[in-house]
Amino acid sequence: MFTGLIQTVGTLQTLGSEHLQIACSNSTAPLVLKDLAIGDSVAVDGVCLTVTAILGSGFVAVVSPETTERTTLSQNTGNKRVNLETSLRVGSKLGGHFVTGHIDGTGMLKSAVQTASSWEMTFTTASQRVARYILPKGSVAINGISLTVANCDPAGSWFTVAVIPHTYEETNLCHLSPGSWVNLEGDILGKYVEKFLRSGSASHGEIAIGSPAVLSPDFLAEHGYL
């Protein structure tokens, strides 16, 4: 589990078909390598990967064929800049939102416009696994970065986020240009809500949520939510 708050940016290189090497600068490596152990999880551009070796200023991680096909990691051309975040530890602050590191699909940067206080970045996606969870003021992880949707179309096929200068400059968003691909993960809370609403039935002793109409104030109060 991650928060979507990026610790630093590293560079990625491919080691064969199943391993990636991620390197950091000497000044930023401790942000990631401190307490890092073999078998730990690290979000690399939002993709949860398992550490198989620790290097002096980086680490090696294993990647499955499914992950390679579903994410932008397959588009690596050498020394690609990637966002890095180690896994959330019990008791740590949750400043972003719950990010699993399981990518739903990819999207593309359409435009990035600098305003007086932020960068307004618009992305598009053809993936229904992503679009269904995009809604105004909802959370989305872009290359592992926790961001809030400012605007979108009803289908979720395009959406805009406002990125503060610090986030823009300290992540790989500043290296994107129109047409650049990004990894996208929808809000896990929205996924569970959708699952409950679509279940249609429940076994004996469970709360049955067969349709959105059941979620009334009376229903919520009866089950301790109000």
| Residue-wise pLDDT tens digits, 16-55 | 778 999 999 999 999 999 999 999 999 999 999 999 999 9
Domains 8-86 and 105-189 share a fold: yes
Mean pLDDT of the chain: 88
pLDDT tens-digit profile of 60-73? Answer: 999 998 898 889 98
More confident residue, 74 or 173: 173
**Residue 15 pLDDT grade (very low, low, confident, very high; cuts 50, 70, 90):** confident
Tell whether the model's pLDDT for residue 213 goes beyond 60.
no
State the Cα–Cα distance between residues 61 and 44, nearest whole angstrom.
Answer: 9
Tell whether the model's pLDDT for residue 205 goes beyond 50.
no
CA neighbours closer than 13 Å in the CB half-sphere of residue 117? 2
Q: State residue 210's pLDDT score.
A: 46
Q: State residue 90's pLDDT score.
A: 72
pLDDT more than 90, % of the chain: 68
CATH of 8-86, one of 1.10.579.10, 3.40.50.1100, 2.40.30.20, 3.40.50.720: 2.40.30.20
Q: Where are the domains of the chain?
A: 8-86, 105-189, 190-222
Q: CATH topology for 105-189?
A: Elongation Factor Tu (Ef-tu); domain 3 (2.40.30)
Q: State residue 220's pLDDT score.
A: 63
